[in-house]
Amino acid sequence: MVKFFGGLIGLFFSGWLLVSFVMGAIEYTTNPPEKAVEYQFHEDSKKVSFKSDGPLGKFDRQQLQRGFQVYKEVCAACHSLRLVAFRNLADLGYNEDEVKAIAANWPIQTPDIDPDTGEASSRPSLPADMFPKPFANDVAAAAANNNAIPPDLSLITKARVGGAPYLYSLLTGYQDPPADLPDSAKPGAGLYYNPYFANLNLAMAPPLVADDQVSYSDGTNATIDQMAKDVSAFLIWTAEPKLEERKQTGWAVVAFLLLATILGYMSFRTIWADEKAAKKNKADA
Amino acid sequence: MSFPWAKQYEPTTDLGKWMDKQLPLPRFIYDAVGAGYPAPRNLNYMWNFGSLAGIFLVVQIVTGIILTMHYAANANIAFDSVEHIMRNVNGGWMFRYAHANGASFFFIALYLHIGRGLYYGSYKAPREMLWLLGVVIYLLAMATGFLGYVLPWGQMSFWGAKVITGLFEAIPLVGKPIQELLLGGFAPDNAALNRFFSLHYLLPFVIVGVVIMHIWALHIPGSNNPTGVDVKGPQDTVPFHPYYTAKDGWTLGVALIFFAAMMFFLPNALGHADNYIPANPLSTPAHIVPEWYFWPWYAILRAFTFDFLFIPAKLLGVIAMFSAILVWFFLPWLDTSPVRSGTYRPKMRIAFGLLIIFTIILFICGGAPAEEPYVMISQVASAYYFAYFLIILPLLSRIEKPLPLPNSITEAVTGKPLEKAS
């Protein structure tokens, strides 16, 4: 009975799937789907490497500080960094006084409540504060940015396929639309063509427009390429501040496991010696 | 249990004797996974994944309980509480990455364990109940995995919850109320998150309960083995401890090395970037895909593109997706060949090889966007999947001529007949 009804169900499922396949294949060959414009013009991220890549990767703290400077002077006007606190900047190599100064002098103040009147107010930030948001709320952010809310950057390198290389490609990828781009895909008002962006046109104006837009204090030449690379490296850190701790722990764990596995394998061989011998006898016979 | 020649537990210390009289827990362990459980001497490495799955279940429960101490199941702060674990909790990143990747490793072990059972006929008499309980474990694990993926309340959490509960909507008449009951509302929100969290905490302990029954059911007939031939005498078996504890032990080390490499060096490789974006009901991700361990079933769901008479394609897909797993419940009665092991079934071996290939194809198609040619490929692969269980195996049971079986496990291992083997 099980076999009979099972067979009927199997014939139905498999049969209908094959019928669907044939109908789909006919549709596919007679009326092949057109490739979307995005598909033709979209480009994969540029190949770029960071010091923090790979199992042995470590942050380049100089680069993180430069990247932080780019964030502060260029990105922070529109993009929040809500999951990062000023105190976290100590990881970048700033000392306590420097962190205090960065927090106190941050152009946007931390929202607070006036202790006397209870009214909304603001005050200079402390190291324990998170980075204040540039806009009071999403409506204000959208209103100021052609209806596109600038995404928070705390996790951006983990929240986009392609990670930091994608970010670097996007920042350096603004260009004039190609001549053969169909009208439907041409950038509308307030949009900018960038083949690394999923739907080709981006509401963010090119943020890095000229060399030496920021002046690095460590003497590094602030080309657009360098600034894009530095800020991408900085945003790897904001997304994964425990990256170095993670990789170092990983090596210790793998080393321990390797040793334990070798010892385990040796005891396995010893315990099974008789059984292996019995098997070997068979092979020899 | 099991075999009369099983070693008996004999406490040697006074404490041991006292314990054995009052609560024979050491005896229980000794009989379950100690020297008191005789296991076939010829088990190959495919027999290592059951205990491995059990260990990853423990990893999940331990890391999960610790994560719960810091996680907040509230739609407003769930996402940030996960980031709090990643940034501010001591070692929090380690527990979260272990938990997220541990789920994948649990499923890898489950799939290899199930595949082993399918090839070596471990589902056949006298082990039907063992197999049925295993299918229940797998279903519970799927539910737990899905519920857990919703908890970080990222974009893929939210939209995954919406799509998967939306499947129930396809059921006529009662579908809509069922979906609303599952979500506690019309769309995923705080009510859904809270009940998902509650169930995600409950189900692993239900799994532990079923695992205990699974091991109990295993100990009555004893383990199957690569020849599929019954154990006939003491020479066919070795005590589980130290033989299989040593074997499982060192392969556990290998598995943990892979696990550590994954969670420490590529912790997000099996996840989805969109889940690092907080849930936003107003913005749909370009491709909504579940976790990789659901991909074959997701491919089967999407393979149904045409209505059949009055049955809409979506409903057909949902029925087929559930049937693809429910068919395992009937497997012992679909495959009635008296020979268990695929090693001695020349035609079944080929059919099984194709099943593995087509299932891998379904894995790939389930993770790909719902576009051609992936849909057409999934249709062919799904057709074979159903045909294997419902048509090919029942037919082969009738027409296949199996190869001669060895007289005993000992003969298969040593080449000498059971009686004379030293």
Burial of A32 (0-12, 13-18, 19+ CB in 10 A): exposed
Global pTM?
0.95
CA nearest to B101, candidates B61, B142, B60, B54: B60
A155/B253 Cβ within 8 A: no
Amino acid residing at A11: L
- State the count of interchain CB pairs (< 8 A) between A and B: 173
CB proximity under 8 Å: A 75-94 to B = 83, 88
The pLDDT assigned to B1 comes to 52
Which two tokens mark B326?
């429910």
CB proximity under 8 Å: A 221-250 to B = 239, 241-242, 245-247, 249-250
CB proximity under 8 Å: B 166-205 to A = none
Question: Which of B79, B250, B319 to mutate to probe the A interface, most A CBs <10 Å?
Answer: B250
Active site residues of B: 219, 223, 247-248, 291
Q: Select from B257, B305, B421 the Cβ nearest to the Cβ of A261.
A: B257
CA angle B206, B212, B218 (to 5 degrees): 135
CB contact, 8 Å: A23 with chain B? yes
B29 phi-psi bin (left φ>0, alpha ψ -120 to 50, beta other)? alpha
Query: What is the rounded CA–CA span in Å between residue A125 and residue A108?
Result: 9
* B2–chain A nearest CA distance, Å: 22
Per-residue pLDDT reduced to its tens digit, B329-383: 999 999 999 999 999 999 999 999 999 999 999 999 999 988 888 999 999 999 9
Query: What is the rounded CA–CA span in Å between residue A113 and residue A107?
Result: 19
Classify residue B311 by its DSSP letter.
B
CA angle A140, A144, A148 (to 5 degrees): 90
Q: Are B388 and B209 in contact (CB under 8 A)?
A: no
B389/A10 Cβ within 8 A: yes
Residue matched to tokens 């419902």 = B390
Q: Is B33 helix (H, G, I), strand (E, B) or coil?
A: helix
Which two tokens mark A195?
């083949």
Per-residue pLDDT reduced to its tens digit, A49-94: 999 999 999 999 999 999 999 999 999 999 999 999 999 999 999 9
CA nearest to A168, candidates A46, A69, A51: A46
Per-residue pLDDT reduced to its tens digit, B376-414: 999 999 999 999 999 999 999 999 999 999 999 999 988
CA nearest to B304, candidates B167, B177, B182: B167
CB contact, 8 Å: A281 with chain B? yes
Per-residue pLDDT reduced to its tens digit, B287-342: 899 999 999 999 999 999 999 988 999 999 999 999 999 999 999 999 999 999 99
Q: Select from B254, B390, B415 the Cβ nearest to the Cβ of A6.
A: B390
B274/A271 Cβ within 8 A: no
CB contact, 8 Å: B371 with chain A? yes
CB neighbours of B91 closer than 8 A, spacing ≥ 6? none
CB neighbours of A34 closer than 8 A, spacing ≥ 6? none
Q: What is the mean pLDDT of residues A109-120?
A: 93
Query: What is the rounded CA–CA span in Å between residue B58 and residue B109?
Result: 13
CB contact, 8 Å: B94 with chain A? yes
The pLDDT assigned to B422 comes to 45
Residue A281 pLDDT > 80: no
Which two tokens mark B204?
């692993």
**Strand-pair partners of B239:** B38
Per-residue pLDDT reduced to its tens digit, B46-62: 999 999 999 999 999 99
Q: Select from A13, A28, A267 the Cβ nearest to the Cβ of B376.
A: A28
